[in-house]
């Protein structure tokens, strides 16, 4: 029997939709089952590019809109080959935000010419997720969970536009098969149960197909 490759599982959603909680829980669940799992998040604020992004998000520096968009993308590209290696070595990678956030947050700024399609181009070629779990919550509900933080983008109008664009991206011809919407309004435990089912399904589909990791 040939060894199974790892899977690439992505969590997306608005701020406070429960992504980080659910990521932690899924990682623990899969490890309990004896799987080897790596947990990543984007932006990865620890690299030199990630430090520039962190400074921008926290208001410590300014960046031209195209430039910050490309820095977010470069922050994924600097880890792309490491992700592929992990997956080929049989290690599952669970990621808190990925290029979907990259597309919608930049496009939500409304800069002329920076539409979803433009924003998606630098991401083409990245490792493609086996499944993207979109935790769906309205901006109002998200705000009830403790209000927005102080970082750039953590504002009601921006979050509303981001949610609309996530919906648009889900209709994209190359995305429709990968993104699954999860109602994030239920309890943490209920959402977790739903996620376990969806992840099992996506993983067995990948195993049955026997296909290698694909590219965006």
**Binding residues for ligand FDM, per CB under 6 A?**
15, 42-43, 57, 72, 97, 101-102, 105, 153
Instruction: Kindly tell me which of 72 and 166 has the beta carbon lying closer to ligand FDM.
Output: 72
Q: Report the alpha-carbon distance of residue 29 to residue 17 in Å, rounded.
A: 20
**Burial of 210 (C-beta count, 10 Å sphere; 0-12/13-18/19+):** exposed
Which DSSP letter does residue 215 get? Answer: B
Looking at the Cβ atoms of 84 and 101, the one nearer to ligand FDM is 101
How far apart are CB 81 and Mg ion at their closest, in Å? 27
Choose the one of ligand FDM, Mg ion, none that binds residue 134, judging by a C-beta under 5 to 8 angstroms depending on kind: none
The minimum distance between CB 114 and Mg ion, in angstroms, equals 21
- Min dist CB 102 to ligand FDM, Å, is 3
Closest distance to ligand FDM from the beta carbon of 201 (Å): 25
Contact present, 48 and 67 (Cβ < 8 Å)? no
Asked if 15 touches Mg ion (CB under 5 A), the answer is yes
- Are the CB atoms for 96 and 45 separated by under 8 Å? no
- Residue 154 to residues 10, 15, 72, 151, 179, Cα–Cα distance (Å): 21, 8, 17, 6, 23
d(C-alpha 34, C-alpha 61), whole Å: 43
Nearer to ligand FDM, 6 or 18 (CB): 18
Of 7-15, 29-37, 80-88, 120-128, the window that binds Mg ion (rule: CB under 5 A) is 7-15
Which residues of this chain interact with Mg ion, rule CB under 5 A?
15
């Amino acid at each position: 029997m040939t060894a199974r490759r790892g899977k690439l599982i992505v969590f997306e959603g608005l701020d406070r939709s429960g992504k980080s909680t659910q990521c932690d829980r899924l990682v623990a669940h899969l490890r309990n089952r004896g799987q080897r799992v790596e947990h990543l998040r984007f932006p990865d604020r620890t690299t030199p590019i990630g430090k520039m992004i962190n400074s921008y998000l926290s208001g410590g520096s300014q960046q031209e809109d195209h430039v910050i968009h490309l820095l977010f993308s470069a922050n994924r590209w600097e880890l792309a080959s490491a992700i592929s290696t992990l997956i080929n070595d049989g290690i599952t990678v669970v990621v808190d935000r990925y290029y979907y956030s990259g597309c919608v947050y930049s496009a939500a700024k409304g800069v002329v010419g920076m539409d979803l399609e433009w924003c998606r181009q630098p991401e083409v070629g990245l490792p493609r997720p086996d499944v993207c779990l979109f935790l769906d919550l309205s901006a109002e509900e998200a705000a009830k969970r403790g209000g927005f933080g102080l970082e750039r983008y953590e504002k009601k109008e921006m979050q509303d536009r981001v949610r609309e664009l996530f919906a648009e991206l889900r209709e994209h011809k190359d995305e429709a098969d990968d993104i699954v919407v999860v109602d994030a309004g239920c309890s943490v435990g209920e959402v977790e149960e739903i996620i376990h089912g969806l992840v099992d399904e996506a993983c067995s589909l990948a195993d049955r197909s026997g296909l290698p990791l694909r590219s965006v």
